[in-house]
Amino acid sequence: MTIQDLTVVIPARNEKESLVTIIPALFAWCEHIKEVIVVVDQSSDNTLEISNHLDLHKYPFRIIINDGQGIAGALNCGVNSAITPYIGVCMADEILPLIRINEFLIKLRSGILFVSATRYSKGGARYGGSKLGHFLSWLSNLLFRFYSDGKMTDATTGIKFFDKSIWPIIGKNIQYKGWAPALALSMNVLKSSIPVDEVSIISLDRPIGGVSSFQVSNWVPAYLRAFIKTI
């Protein structure tokens, strides 16, 4: 009997095109997923239209409305709604990392409480997107590697897997714009001395559809605030 002990949480904004591909891929590459929880900010989001997609009816997924704000609220809603011991946070526009989803779960089952993806170590790579975005991401994570004494090489990726029991610890004070909550999670993990490991991934920015919400003027200050306030 296959143990289904993983819930995948996906914060989404107008991602109907991407999720038609992402959801089947998740279940194709990992048979241990109990369900996928998609979290949107409002009832007008076009992501809700995937509920009418007949090909997706065979997959256990549900869409819930964020009762908080932004990514931080979406994560909190998704984690609190999950009934499994392990949580995986994935992004609606990333498909290649899903190939390695079982490796995250294996590490969790071995006793590692927090497993982060990495694009900057152990064979990881990042393709697509703006050159400025790449440079800022690479530089910030290089600095974070030194700050963490090598324990984490990619703090800003949104792909994080963890034991649900530690959410009250790592989910504190992560209310920042964009995906800066991912950095805040990483900072909380380091401060709490929680066992951590990484899985290298190849990231290809938005290969399926939709529009990136990345804005240097909004996201970079949010990342800086997340770092400074959680030191």
- The pLDDT, as a whole number, for residue 178 is 86
Residue 111 near residue 196 (C-beta atoms within 8 A): no
> Distance between CA atoms of 146 and 198, rounded to whole angstroms?
16
Residue 88 near residue 133 (C-beta atoms within 8 A): no
| DSSP 3-state of 216 | helix
How many C-beta atoms lie closer than 10 Å to residue 12's C-beta? 25
Say how many CA atoms lie within 13 Å of 195 toward its Cβ: 8
In CATH, what number does 6-230 get?
3.90.550.10
State which H helix or E strand residue 145 sits in. helix 131-147
> Distance between CA atoms of 154 and 200, rounded to whole angstroms?
10
| DSSP 3-state of 178 | coil
- The pLDDT, as a whole number, for residue 141 is 79
pLDDT truncated to tens, each residue of the chain (231 aa)? 799 999 999 999 999 999 999 999 999 999 999 999 999 999 999 999 999 999 999 999 999 999 998 999 999 999 999 999 999 999 998 898 999 999 999 999 999 999 999 999 878 888 876 777 777 777 777 888 888 888 899 998 999 999 999 999 999 999 988 889 999 999 999 999 899 999 999 988 765 655 555 555 455 677 666 666 555
> Distance between CA atoms of 104 and 212, rounded to whole angstroms?
26
- The pLDDT, as a whole number, for residue 205 is 73
Predicted TM-score (pTM) of the model is: 0.89
